[in-house]
């Protein structure tokens, strides 16, 4: 009995297929739809790149268990982060596409015009569907989703604070005037940094269970476990 080997594809056929695929992806009429696909791809890749090293370090430092159990935790955290960002990118870009092409707004070429609040509506929908849901099994929001939302929220607060003191339009009526704007800009960050650390240290000292677990673990390592040792070995070389 002779085994059949796969028939190789001629180079000319591969070149033809490649040229055909490139004509599709470079055609302007498919650009908006293909950008949804590319957004999913980029969201998944970015989520994996960001989460994997973070999860690896946090699990190795603060989680107990076998190597296989730790590897499973790292894999699940990486998969969740990548999956969430890919889903959000899909919902966000698809919603923007639908609003632009089917809203009936004139202008912006054949597909219609982008509205001033399209990105807000698309972000609202994506944020609710992807990051606003609780686990059906535990009834809790996943720690990965919490971390992503908290990260985004912190950046939003900083951006709004900068926007509030802008003197070239967009700022708040009183804060955007000189010299008030310059004074607030100069002192805002020190006050923000000081009060943030004052609040988190107070919460860690008196209400640690209400802090996010990875933050609580890292703070415990620095501020609580540093209070205990019984030899030079676990004073310098080892923590415990």
Residue ranges covered by each domain of the chain: 22-133, 165-228
CA angle 157, 160, 161 (to 5 degrees): 85
C-alpha to C-alpha distance for 70 and 73, rounded to whole angstroms:
5
**Confidence (pLDDT) at 7:** 67
**Confidence (pLDDT) at 75:** 95
pLDDT reading at 82 higher than 80: yes
DSSP letters, 105-172, are ---SSTT----TTHHHHHHHHHIIIIISPPPTTTSS--HHHHHHHHHHHHHHHHHHHHHHT-SSSSS-
pLDDT greater at residue 232 or residue 164: 164
- Residues of the chain with pLDDT > 70, as a percent, come to 94
117: Cα within 13 Å, side-chain hemisphere = 4
Which contacts qualify for 186-192: CB closer than 8 Å, 24 or more apart?
188/161, 192/161
pLDDT reading at 112 higher than 80: no
pTM here is 0.77
Average pLDDT, rounded, for the chain = 86
Which contacts qualify for 41-44: CB closer than 8 Å, 24 or more apart?
41/86, 42/89, 43/82, 43/85, 43/86, 43/87, 43/88, 43/89, 43/90, 44/82, 44/83, 44/85, 44/86
**Confidence (pLDDT) at 187:** 86
C-alpha to C-alpha distance for 157 and 163, rounded to whole angstroms:
10
Question: Confidence band (pLDDT; 50, 70, 90) for 4?
Answer: low
pLDDT reading at 103 higher than 60: yes
């Amino acid at each position: 009995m002779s085994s059949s080997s796969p028939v190789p594809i001629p180079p000319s056929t591969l070149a033809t297929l490649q040229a055909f695929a490139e004509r599709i992806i470079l055609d302007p009429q498919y650009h908006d739809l293909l950008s949804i696909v590319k957004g999913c791809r980029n969201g998944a890749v970015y989520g994996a790149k960001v989460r994997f090293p973070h999860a690896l370090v946090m699990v190795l430092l603060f989680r107990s268990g076998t190597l296989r159990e730790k590897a499973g935790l790292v894999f699940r955290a990486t998969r969740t982060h990548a999956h969430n960002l890919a889903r959000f990118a899909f919902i966000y870009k698809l919603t923007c596409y639908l609003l632009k092409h089917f809203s009936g707004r004139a202008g912006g070429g054949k597909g219609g015009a982008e509205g001033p609040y399209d990105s807000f509506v698309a972000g609202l929908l994506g944020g609710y569907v992807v990051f606003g849901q609780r686990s059906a099994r535990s009834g809790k929001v996943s720690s990965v989703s919490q971390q992503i939302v908290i990260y985004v929220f912190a950046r939003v607060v900083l951006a709004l604070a900068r926007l509030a003191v802008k003197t070239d339009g967009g700022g708040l009526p009183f804060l955007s005037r000189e010299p008030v704007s310059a004074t607030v800009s100069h002192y805002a960050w020190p006050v923000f940094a000081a009060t943030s650390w004052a609040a988190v240290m107070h919460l860690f000292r008196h209400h640690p269970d209400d802090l996010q677990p990875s933050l609580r673990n890292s703070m415990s390592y620095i501020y609580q476990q540093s209070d205990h040792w019984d030899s030079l070995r676990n004073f310098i070389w080892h923590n415990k």
